[in-house]
């Protein structure tokens, strides 16, 4: 019985380890994209894509900076989304890439000739011309800036196919609140409190279940003892009956 109880406790402990932690709703924050610029080899617009015009290949790449100065310190980043409003869309369409810019640049002076470098694509997706709003997950990029893995020089959006035969163009609207970065986060103190709550819940759960199992085992033991006593009483009664029968048989002889 004791071995059985130990096994049950071990199973309960394992289950509490894999139970999802209680988590409070994350805080939310919007960071407006206040200024962006598109660099290309013909004109400046805020778009990304590729098209052929006047027998020359026009490649468009949009750069913009992300100001995290007002973002709280000592937080756990839960989610980060780049939400874009597509003002104009043309062509057959193609995947677009989002990457980290890897060196500094100035929005007022950057040109195609002195354009900054960028990382390998962090996000690749296809925008839908029928849906004028796009939501792109950039959690890994924002996290790499917050933990100082990489310096924050902003983001770049560019077409995946910049030398092909498909012509396409996406124009993004950065006016007002049409395009922004949406962030969800939790303060570190809240994360620690949630871990403490999880540990307390685990301990309480183990105690309650252990008590319940202990009571069940106690009741089972009582029932088994009652059954055993009844069986013993029946055996005694049977033995008395046999003895009485034997005595009655002897008197007859």
Secondary structure (DSSP) of 116-159:
PPB-S-SEEEE--TT-SEEEEE-HHHHHHHHTTSS----EEEEE
Q: Name the residue with higher pLDDT: 107 or 41.
A: 107
Span 184-197, mean pLDDT? 67
Q: Residues 198, 147: one domain?
A: no
pLDDT tens digits, 207-250:
877 788 878 888 888 888 888 877 777 777 766 666 666 666 56
Q: What tokens were used for 35?
A: 């200024």
Q: Residues 152, 241: one domain?
A: no
Which residues, 6+ apart, have CB-to-CB distance to 76 below 8 Å? Answer: 185, 186, 187, 188, 191
> What confidence category does residue 138 fall into, taking pLDDT thresholds of 50, 70 and 90?
very high
Which residues, 6+ apart, have CB-to-CB distance to 10 below 8 Å? Answer: none
Which domain does 225 fall in, by range? 2-13+194-252
Q: Residues 215, 166: one domain?
A: no
Q: Residues 86, 200: one domain?
A: no
Domain closes at, from 158, 187, 216:
187
> What confidence category does residue 1 fall into, taking pLDDT thresholds of 50, 70 and 90?
low
Domain closes at, from 187, 211, 234:
187
Say how many Å lie between the first and final Cα of the chain, rounded: 53
Q: Residues 172, 109: one domain?
A: yes
Closest CA to 120 of 94, 93, 150, 146: 150
pLDDT of residue 142: 92
> What confidence category does residue 102 fall into, taking pLDDT thresholds of 50, 70 and 90?
very high
Q: What are phi and psi of 234, to 5 degrees?
A: -65, -40
Residues 71, 143 contacting (CB under 8 angstroms): no
Q: How many residues does the chain have?
A: 253
Span 110-117, mean pLDDT? 86
Distance between CA atoms of 107 and 110, rounded to whole angstroms?
Answer: 6
Q: Residues 107, 163: one domain?
A: yes
- The number of domains in the chain is 2
The domain spanning residue 172 has which CATH number? Answer: 2.60.120
């Amino acid at each position: 019985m004791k071995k059985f109880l130990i096994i049950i406790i071990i199973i309960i402990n394992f289950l509490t380890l894999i139970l999802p932690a209680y988590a409070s709703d994350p805080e939310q924050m919007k960071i407006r994209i206040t200024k962006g610029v598109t660099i290309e080899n013909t004109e400046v617009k805020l778009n990304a894509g590729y098209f052929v015009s006047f027998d020359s290949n026009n490649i468009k790449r949009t750069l913009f900076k992300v100001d995290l100065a007002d973002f709280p310190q000592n937080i756990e980043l839960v989610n980060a989304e780049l939400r874009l409003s597509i003002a104009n869309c043309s062509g057959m369409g193609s995947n677009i890439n989002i990457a980290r810019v890897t060196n500094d640049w100035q929005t007022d002076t950057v040109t195609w000739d002195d354009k900054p470098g960028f990382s390998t694509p962090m996000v690749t997706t296809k925008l839908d011309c029928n849906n004028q709003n796009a939501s792109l997950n950039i959690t890994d990029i924002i996290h790499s800036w917050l933990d100082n893995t990489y310096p924050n020089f902003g983001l770049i959006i560019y077409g995946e196919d910049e030398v092909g035969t498909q012509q396409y163009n996406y124009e993004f609207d950065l006016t007002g609140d049409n395009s922004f970065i949406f962030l969800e986060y939790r303060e570190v103190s809240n994360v620690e409190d949630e871990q403490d709550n999880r540990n307390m819940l685990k301990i309480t759960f183990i105690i309650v279940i252990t008590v319940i199992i202990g009571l069940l085992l106690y009741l089972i033991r009582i029932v088994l003892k009652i059954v055993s006593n009844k069986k013993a009483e029946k055996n005694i009664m049977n033995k008395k009956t046999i003895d009485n029968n034997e005595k009655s048989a002897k008197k007859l002889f």
